[in-house]
Amino acid sequence: MKKLFYLLFAMLFIQSCSIDDDDPEPIFPKGLGKGFYVVNQGGFTAGNASLSFFNYDTAKMTNNVFYKLNNAPLGDVAQSMTFVGDYAYIVINNSGLIYIIDAQSGYFLNKIVGLTSPRYYLPIDNQKAYISDFIDKGITVVNPNNLQIQGVIQTGKSTENMVLIGTKVFAANWSQYNQTGLNNTVQVIDAAMDKLVDSIQVVKEPNSMVVDKNNKLWVLCSGGYMNEEIPAIHCINPDNLEIIKTIYFAGNELSPEHLTINGTGDTLYYLDNYSVYRMTINDTQLPAEAFIPAGNRFYFTMGVDPNNSQIVVTDAGNYVQNGHIYRFTPAGVMIDSAQVGIIPGFIGYN
């Protein structure tokens, strides 16, 4: 299973789907409540991205939340969601903008425009945030107070997932699209100077990164879109940029992705061959068996609640019709499932 954005380029035949307002209750007088958002990507160029919300207290999924609350479509390919205080930043990749909503109510507040192909939003401090980009070879610097673009950090490569550790930002060079260099590095940015200062060579196509309880950086690499290299997980010391350990997968026909971590920072999760795998940060070998086997499903993305360690896995189905999410206990026992929007991707906890 390769990353969706490559697949989306091959899905231009998808017809634009109208937003189906299947829930007649668009009013949330006390806010959305405690739960999680599902960022439904929608079909590439179809403009049918949407936002769903699952309420823990009622165990109810509400679809098309952004449209119901704001009377406007979300846009073309919703990529990710970042929470900063009371705000949530929804990155709309092919629309080239970021919507800012109230994280508790879901209401639109503002937007960041003038972007090329944004992927992730990373807050640096009260005066600055970084935005990675799929096409441009740089990271956009924006002021979160006036939402004005302050400049671009030239990286020489496109950027994807980003994490901030101390004063360093680590940006994964996942895609080789629109670049001549190999997509096998993690770019190191000095966040105080807004400058590229170094890079770490890893296995091709680093697609996701997390930071553990010991402040170590973990990078999951799929090995390349054409399975050029054997996939691997790297553990990196962010202080000296040295790779502490590398754990290789069984063969280059595998394509692991969506590395995530629990709230205590000691257990890693990832997807491979549509199944969920789990390991501790002290393991030196990959798990031999899936923690949550896919069965007849096609698990696409995942999230782990930082508070209760419940696991949410999405299933995009045929990438044209509405998908589903499946919720599991920390022990891997399924709790329930719900229908969501088209191509459910990022899971965001409010």
pLDDT digits (tens, 9 = 90+) for 259-280: 999 999 999 999 999 999 999 9
Contact 124, 142 (CB under 8 A): no
Start-to-end CA span in the chain (Å): 29
For residues 226 and 208, give the distance between their C-alpha atoms in angstroms, rounded to a whole number. 18
Each residue of 102-151: pLDDT tens digit? 999 999 999 999 999 999 999 999 999 999 999 999 999 999 999 999 99
pLDDT number for residue 27: 58
The confidence score (pLDDT) of residue 28 equals 74
Q: For 90-116, write each residue's pLDDT tens digit.
A: 999 999 999 999 999 999 999 999 999
Name the CA dihedral angle for 252, 258, 259, 265, rounded to a multiple of 10 degrees.
Answer: -170
- Domain 1-113+299-350: state its class: mainly beta
The rounded distance, in Å, linking the Cα atoms of 111 and 120 is 14
Per-residue pLDDT at 127? 96
- Which parts of 49-125 fold into alpha helices (H)? 65-70
pTM of the predicted model, to two decimals? 0.92
Place of tokens 């890079």: 199
Contact 185, 200 (CB under 8 A): yes
The pLDDT, as a whole number, for residue 146 is: 98
Q: E strands of 116-263, at which residues?
A: 118-125, 128-133, 138-142, 149-154, 162-165, 168-172, 185-190, 195-201, 206-211, 217-221, 232-236, 243-248, 257-261
Q: Domain residues of the chain, as ranges?
A: 1-113+299-350
Point out the residues of the chain with pLDDT beneath 50.
Answer: 1-24, 26
